[in-house]
Structure formats: structure tokens, C-alpha cells
Amino acid sequence: DTAVSQTPKYLVTQMGNDKSIKCEQNLGHDTMYWYKQDSKKFLKIMFSYNNKELIINETVPNRFSPKSPDKAHLNLHINSLELGDSAVYFCASSQVPASATQYFGPGTRLTVL
């Protein structure tokens, strides 16, 4: 039983292309997140949705657009991909309380050539 799943696991694409990463959670959580892990392994929040409403939007280029069709799904669309977008993108989910653990998906390794 996969708790938080992401597709695809690997994504290799050319600069300038548009791509999407999909995330689904079957934990019944209200809140979902996107994190970016760079080549030095540093993890940083990008976005968060609570019940389909955007609640966190960190300083991320507007080429990145999250979309939450329902509270079990949070997709990430990236326009006009750049070399610097190469990273591992993690989706996560949690319940609302501050003490709630965030459970991460397996990650999507994006490589922009």
C-alpha cells in the first residue's frame, strides 16, 4: 500500500520544455507539499495546499505552478524548463496539526539537458 506516490520517478527533458509531476496520497491527509532537493541535498519547501487551497508559496519562479484537483492530489507543472531546475522533487502530505508528521513520496529526479 503506497502512502504517497509520485509519477514519474525519473524525468529527463530538454531546456525550454514543459513538464508535469503528479502526486497522490491515500492517507486521508488534508495538507500536501512540494519540496525541492538540490544537488547538495538541501531540501526546501516550494508550495503547500490545505484542502485544495494554496497556503504556502515560497519564493519560486512563476514557471512553477501547483494544482490540486482534490485533497488527495497535488500536481506540479513546470513551464520553460531551465538547467537550474534539475533536482529531486518530493511530494509530502500531513494532517493539519503542527505535530503532524509529513510523509514523503519517493521523489522525482528531474534532469534538464
Partner 1 sequence: AQKITQTQPGMFVQEKEAVTLDCTYDTSDPSYGLFWYKQPSSGEMIFLIYQGSYDQQNATEGRYSLNFQKARKSANLVISASQLGDSAMYFCAMRRGSNYKLTFGKGTLLTVNP
Q: Given its phi and psi angles, is residue 3 left (phi above 0), alpha (psi -120 to 50 degrees) or beta?
A: alpha
Q: Which is nearer to partner 1, 18 or 58 (CB)?
A: 58
Q: Does 12 bind partner 1 (CB under 8 A)?
A: no
Q: What is the nearest approach in angstroms of partner 1 to the Cβ of residue 43?
A: 4
* Angle formed at CA 48 by CA 95 and CA 42, multiple of 5 degrees: 105
| DSSP β-ladder status, 10-13 and 108-112 | parallel
Cα gap 15→106, rounded to integer Å: 24
**Grid cell locating 86:** 534539475
Letters for 47-86 (x = contact with partner 1 by CB under 8 A, - = none) are -x-x----xx-x----------------------------
Closer residue to partner 1 in complex, CB, 79/101: 101
- The residue range among 18-26, 59-67, 75-83, 93-101 that interacts with partner 1, by the rule CB under 8 A, is 93-101
Least distance CB 16 / partner 1 (angstroms): 27
Q: How far apart are CA 8 and CA 40, in angstroms?
A: 22
